[in-house]
Structure 1
Amino acid sequence: MKNILESKEAIISQIKRLTADTKHFTLRFSDLRDREKFNFDFGQFVMLSILGFSEIPLGVCSAPEQKENFEIAVRQAGTTTKGLFKLKLGDKVGIRGPYGKGIKISALKHKNIALVAGGIGLSPLRSIIQHISWHRKDFGRVSLVYGAKNKYELLFSSEYDNWKKTIDVYPTVDEDIGGWTGRVGLVTKICNPKTLKCEKAVAIVCGPPIMYKSVVEKLIGLGFKDKDIYLLLERHMKCGVGLCQHCVCDGKYVCQDGPVFSHEEAKEIKGLI
């Protein structure tokens, strides 16, 4: 019988520091067969393990067609991430997955797309941005509204100029601590008819729990429909396969029924947002 909790060995091939507490890891499966089989939908997640530490769920921030390796962005927030941050190039980790329900590429093709992210929530949306940049003719207008506390907390900031070649990018910060010449204010302030197109469109939202209700209200006010607003949600996931029940919310398993929910689904699940 197949062990559904079995991890595959992956090697750290690159490490970049994005902010004071966030690192960007590039991983490559040791076994070529695992590289060839690894495929995922936008928003799905993997379980990462390190010897001597518990597993953690992480979203993939590279495009699915990038087969030689895949990428994750990790914010240090506990013992496992602290252990991960101590690893070096060539060190090995365990990977299970991908798990959960994501967003099919077919649901996005030939549509206008509004991406709204806050903080570390930009990480899984980067996967979509990469795919769109490689298949630009398959999509309508694509806009990214992204917010962080200040300029030092903006993830992937070195990539924005490249992204702007194919999509509209609207970064904003909660506070200007000096040296920032861009927008200041919450992402809801930047979500407006000039930045986001709601006709024949889908919106994808990912960020801290506190932002979801206000962003959804703003998107609906702009004309987005409940069924066309996708929310990437996180809960305390332990196993990723629905065994531990740590992520159950009103009878729904976030690790299996999500982590991507349309707002049409999410508003019927008590306590989800």
Structure 2
Amino acid sequence: MELSTLSNPYARQYPNTAMQQGSSQSLSGLVASDQKAKIEVQTKEGDRVTITMARQSQSAFGTYSANGTMAGGAYQKSGSLEYTAQRHEFSFEVEGDLSDEERQEIEALTSRLGAAADEFFAGKPMNLNEIMGFKANSLGSFRMELEETKMVALQSTRSQVGAEKKHPLMERFAEEGRTSQDRLGTENNRFKGMLGRALENAFGKSLSVKSVLDQVMEAMAQQRTALEKKEEATEVAPLSA
């Protein structure tokens, strides 16, 4: 998912209206985040483990308010739009046949790498001491790539058509407390709420690398145990007459 540029979500829903007098205001916003992690570990025997994961989030939102006269009558219109999209990706690949020692050392290393990656995505300084001081007999090299992109874009549009002119129906709206300023204030507060939810959705959560890596290593261990039990059962199975 590429981070989109800001666009007015009301371009189709609320086309330009031929108001004779009045004002309109639209507020729109886009909040997006993209987090990626890739870890490669290679053993001295040439076996390779590659794990990639990504979390992408995007929220678009906006409000619209128009107040005036049109075709001899009073005109009022308002609305809001809000949507959120998320996507998670994961891939895991093993090239070669890992020994128990290699698997155990890869598990120990990825646990340290995952903790450092979580610190990176949480905006904290990465503690690399445990990684750099890690010693392994069977591992040859490792590589970790982390990437994070954040974007916040806001747009405000306000237009005034003609001179202000009171209309009987507009006066009734004013008596009911629905003046233009009151309505714009309500839309502004609604927009602030949308912005807060979008920021929390995009930036309040982060890619949990260590949790994913721990699950992968556990699945590898279970798969290895199941394979060993299958091989043992095959060895002790009696020959058919």
| Global fold match (TM > 0.5) | no
Of Structure 1 and Structure 2, which has the larger fraction of its residues in helix?
Answer: 2
What TM bracket, shorter-length normalisation? under 0.3
**Which has the higher relative contact order, 1 or 2, with Cα contacts under 8 A spaced 6 or more apart?**
2
Task: Name the larger-Rg structure.
Answer: 2
Of Structure 1 and Structure 2, which has the larger fraction of its residues in strand?
Answer: 2
